Amino acid sequence: MTLLLRSFPLITLRTTRPYSLPLLQTLLKYHFSTSLSTKYAKPLAALSASSSSPETILKPQQQPKDTLHWVSRTNFCGQLSINDVGARVRLCGWVALHRVHGGLTFFNLRDHTGIVQVATLPDEFPDAHSIINDLRIEYVVVVEGVVRSRPVESVNTKMVTGSIEVVAEHAQLLNAVKTKLPFLVTTVDDAKDSVKEEIRLRYRCLDLRRQQMSSNIMLRHRVVKLIRRYLEDVQGFVEIETPILSRSTPEGARDFLVPSRIQPGTFYALPQSPQLFKQMLMVSGFDKYYQIARCFRDEDLRADRQPEFTQLDMELAFTPMEDMLRLNEDLIRKVSSYQNHSLGLHMLKRMSRYGSDRPDTRFDLHLKEVSDIFSESSFRVFADSLKSGGIIKVLCVPSGAKIYSNTALKKGDIYNEAIKSGAKGLAFLKVLDNGEFEGISALLSSLNSTNKEQLLSRCSAGPGDLILFAAGHHSSVNKTLDRLRLFVANQLGLIDPSRNSILWVTDFPMFEWNETEQRLET
């Protein structure tokens, strides 16, 4: 401080430019307190005057009009209501919609709380009208004005603030859009999202301005908040953060590695889960631990897999499995509208009944194994599958015989779904009104009266129903029928999207046989 002030007189003595001292005064004014600038400005002025020509007269410098200043607001756009009529407000936000009508300019101003309409009065406030008239979509502005009720014919019942508007008396442009927007941020509620995800990710700041995206983030925030309050205040959990940089440990995927600068040639591993750390906490005597944990797994992208994700991680000491399941069910009820009791289903039963390790239980189409019925079948496809150790399973579609034609079953959409799952074809039978079968001729000829009765009884099939077959290895059969089950349910409208159905999977196998690599894997 002292060194800086001592250097300024030297600078002043070495120059005769009249603007050097005002520059110094400006520095003192904005970077030091008023007392300091007053204390040191007078000697410097006298020194400069004595060293300059007699004609030089020092004049106070005017502060530029466009000096950067803090922007403040008094209210939020989406929180204004009819109770605020007559109030003077200052709003900040983005231009969501801009239009000119009858010599007046209107625009919707958007912030994180919602949207409010702003109107202009050209005769009374021409400056504000001129600025607002030149605005475009997504410009950032500050508007100051008075809240008033809209005319009855202009009330917008679709907007929360549709009964009021703000008459702009002053307006300031903070930031303009210099290039064409890659996509619209504000659209009608029922507009289809036609923007490619690649474009949205490239312009992520614009994408996150959209109502759908901001709502998703706020929903996540509320869910995490409820989780924390429930686990801590009701269940007595302690939130503990575990290390991110650690040694590599055996997990279900490859690690992301971070090279160490201090120890060249060595690496940290980002955690795939806090598994070892939470076990250490249990051994250390912490009874209930939880963490909103960030996890990292270097694996191929899939619809339900990402390299970086967040999970709720928890651990309890001296707690049986039933209590753990009950705790999680109560937590799910706390953060959602789900109130039903969750089902517990053994891993093997689940695969046998649904053909999937994550089945959709909102509808009742179940798979049935019929290998014993076709144990002596002359149908070559079934006989070869059973001979090689495979199985035969069926999916009965109620009223499917009347919905799907033979052509659709032989080369239509449902046939293509079976092929996409890896099947070589799709065998089927239709139950006619007289109780007889119709379908693949070779399969029909292999059935006797006893087999037909057994098949109808096993599938609980009746007139008009459709029976779909899959034969082969257990995993391929389950994969095919699981895909067909979901395809049929969506086509027939069997799934209620508003319904939740939670399923606990118990006794999950630790290892699974990989046919391609001929080894066990986790």
Integer Cα distance of 252 and 299 in angstroms: 9
Written as six digits, the tokens of 255 are: 């690690």
| CATH fold of 82-175 | OB fold (Dihydrolipoamide Acetyltransferase, E2P) (2.40.50)
Please list the pLDDT of the chain residue by residue as tens digits (522 residues).
Answer: 444 444 444 433 344 444 444 444 544 444 444 444 444 444 433 433 333 444 434 344 454 555 567 889 999 999 999 999 999 999 999 999 999 987 889 999 999 999 999 999 999 999 999 999 999 999 999 999 999 999 999 999 999 999 999 999 999 999 999 999 999 998 766 566 678 999 999 999 999 999 999 999 999 999 999 999 999 999 999 999 999 999 998 887 899 999 999 999 999 999 999 999 999 999 999 999 999 999 999 988 887 788 999 999 999 999 998 899 899 989 988 888 766 666 665 666 777 888 888 888 889 899 999 999 999 899 999 999 999 999 999 999 999 999 999 999 998 999 999 999 999 999 999 999 888 899 998 998 899 989 999 999 999 999 999 999 999 998 899 999 999 999 999 999 999 888 878 778 777 777 777 777 888 876
How far is residue 42 from each of residues 13, 22, 410, 417, 522, measured CA to CA in Å?
A: 15, 12, 98, 88, 80
Q: What CATH superfamily is the domain 367-514?
A: GAD-like domain (3.30.1360.30)
Q: Give me the pLDDT at residue 345, please.
A: 59
Task: Judge contact between 90 and 72, C-beta under 8 A.
Answer: yes
Model's pTM, two decimal places? 0.70
**What pairs with residue 291 in β-bridges?**
313
- Burial of 9-35, coded b for 16+ CB within 10 Å and e otherwise, reads beebeeeeeeebbeebbeebbeebeee
Smallest CA-to-CA distance from 145 within 77, 213, 50 is with 77
How far is residue 182 from each of residues 108, 177, 367, measured CA to CA in Å?
A: 20, 12, 48
- Burial of 54-69, coded b for 16+ CB within 10 Å and e otherwise, reads eeeeeeeeeeeeeeee
Integer Cα distance of 194 and 35 in angstroms: 61
Q: Give me the pLDDT at residue 282, please.
A: 96
Beta strands, E only, 150-246: 164-175, 238-239
**Can you give the residue ranges of every domain in the chain?**
82-175, 220-338, 367-514
From 3.40.50.1580, 3.30.930.10, 3.40.309.10, 1.10.150.110, which CATH number describes the 220-338 domain?
Answer: 3.30.930.10
Q: Give me the pLDDT at residue 67, please.
A: 59
CA 305 from centre of chain:
14
Q: Give me the pLDDT at residue 104, please.
A: 87
Integer Cα distance of 368 and 469 in angstroms: 10
Report the 10 Å Cβ neighbour count for 225.
Answer: 11
